[in-house]
Amino acid sequence: MNSEEVKQKFYNRYYRPDEKVRVYFSPGRVNLIGEHTDYNGGFVFPCALSYGTYLVCRKTAEPVIRMATTNFDFSLEIPIDQLENKIGEEWVNYPLGVFNELVSKGFNPGGIEMLYSGNIPNKSGLSSSASIELVTAVALNDLYNLDIDRIELVKTGPAAENNFVGVNCGIMDQFAVGMGKKDHAIFLNCDTLEYDLVPIQLEGYKLVIANTNKTRGLADSKYNERVSECQKAVQDLSQGTPIGYLAELSSREFFEYQHLIEDPIVLKRARHVITENERVIQAVMALKAGALEEFGELMNASHDSLRDDYEVTGIELDTLVEEGRKIKGVIGSRMTGAGFGGCTVSLVKDEAIEIYIEKVGPAYQEKTGYKADFYVAEIGNGASRLQNK
């Protein structure tokens, strides 16, 4: 569905086609390497995708906010003085969370009609939630002339999830969605928010995303449990060296103090974060040097650590990775996103893409019972306004 089609659906729903609307778009994201490091103050390396979430909206004179989407049946009509109320586990909590964060900063919303339409596979781990949050934040900033700095807008996303939705996420997803640039990935320090836009030059290779199509949900998954385990590791390690985040430690420092962590499960979680953080740095250096095979090896090591130490993969993701690595021309494959389902990302030689899909798809379905979907990733720009009527 394109912006014109979404706009027509907006008028079909809300009427008054003579009145101007504004159209916004916010991408999804894929993380190339650096998983579960963001909320640990570490490095990540995501990029924005060419598909994402459209938002068509206009201000009204009524003191009511109306939200609907082409993706789900649930819609919302809520008075502007009741925005602080969470609505079960519905999708509208993501934009409502953004409204609440902006209200806490002094924003006084008026009436507005909003229609969302996304082409990111739902619960795929490609950040449909962050896409919804950022398209909402960018639209409100533009519609109401709030003049909020882009990075401050980005911060409203994780704040909305932490404070309103109930997911203890980091900032990576929203940063990639809000700050992405076509044909670039973002080397981001999630502690300081310092970042570098790195050109993606794959020279004969493509990034291929494989969706497990296994339904997943962060708020009711073990995601928050992993966050707590990492916080416990910080507490234990701080007995020997004061730290605020796991990623403050180098692997040498971690191995010096790891004996302070008594719980073997917590130790495994911390080991993944420390080693993954260093893999991101190595991967960015390899990509800048054109060492694609080294980059692929680091992708493989990342997945293995997420499988063995962080334990967030599962049979679906592991099967896609294992079957993908059997294909000649696949030099790296790993899960991407929070895990517990979702997607893998693989670095595949151009001429091997067709056979990769032909071989991996049936093998995956035979083993898991799910049918995988495959996408050749196109790297796009961050959230923005597209047009006026």
Length in residues, the chain = 389
Per-residue pLDDT at 126: 78
Q: What is the mean pLDDT of residues 97-121?
A: 94
CA 12 to chain centre: 31
Q: Which residue has the higher pLDDT, 375 or 217?
A: 375
**Does 227 reside within a domain?**
no
Calculate ∠ Cα 229-234-238, nearest 5°.
150
Q: What is the mean pLDDT of residues 196-218?
A: 89
What whole-number distance in Å separates Cα of residue 382 and Cα of residue 184? Answer: 11
pTM confidence score: 0.93
Kindly report, residue by residue over 148-185, the tens digit of the pLDDT. 999 999 999 999 999 999 888 889 999 999 999 999 99
**Does 128 reside within a domain?**
yes
For residue 321, the number of C-alpha atoms closer than 13 Å in the C-beta half-sphere is 28
**Does 100 reside within a domain?**
yes
Structure tokens at 21: 């609307």
- Catalytic pick among 173, 236, 309, 318: 173
Total number of domains constituting the chain? 1
**Does 217 reside within a domain?**
no
Q: Is the pLDDT of residue 227 over 70?
A: yes
Sign (positive/negative) of CA torsion 214, 283, 382, 221? Answer: positive
Q: Is the pLDDT of residue 219 over 50?
A: no
Q: Which residue has the higher pLDDT, 170 or 31?
A: 31
Q: What is the mean pLDDT of residues 205-218?
A: 86
**Does 228 reside within a domain?**
no
**Does 374 reside within a domain?**
no
Per-residue pLDDT at 387: 65
Per-residue pLDDT at 221: 65
Structure tokens at 361: 């798809």
**Does 285 reside within a domain?**
no
Quote the DSSP letter at residue 121.
P
Residue 147 lies in domain: 3-198+380-388
Q: Is the pLDDT of residue 66 over 70?
A: yes
Kindly report, residue by residue over 252-303, the tens digit of the pLDDT. 999 999 999 999 999 999 999 999 999 999 999 999 999 999 999 999 999 9
Per-residue pLDDT at 123: 64
> Which residue has tokens 């809300």?
14
Kindly report, residue by residue over 295-340, the tens digit of the pLDDT. 999 999 999 999 999 999 999 999 999 999 999 999 999 999 889 8
* Summary mean pLDDT of the chain: 94
* Residue 137 belongs to domain with CATH number: 3.30.230.10
236 is annotated as an active-site residue: no
> Which among 316, 299, 330, 322 is positioned nearest to 205, based on CA atoms?
330
Q: Is the pLDDT of residue 89 over 70?
A: yes
Per-residue pLDDT at 389: 46
Q: Is the pLDDT of residue 125 over 80?
A: no
Percent of residues, the chain, with pLDDT higher than 70: 97
> Which among 275, 240, 244 is positioned nearest to 260, based on CA atoms?
240
For residue 7, the number of C-alpha atoms closer than 13 Å in the C-beta half-sphere is 17
Q: What is the mean pLDDT of residues 121-138?
A: 86
**Does 115 reside within a domain?**
yes
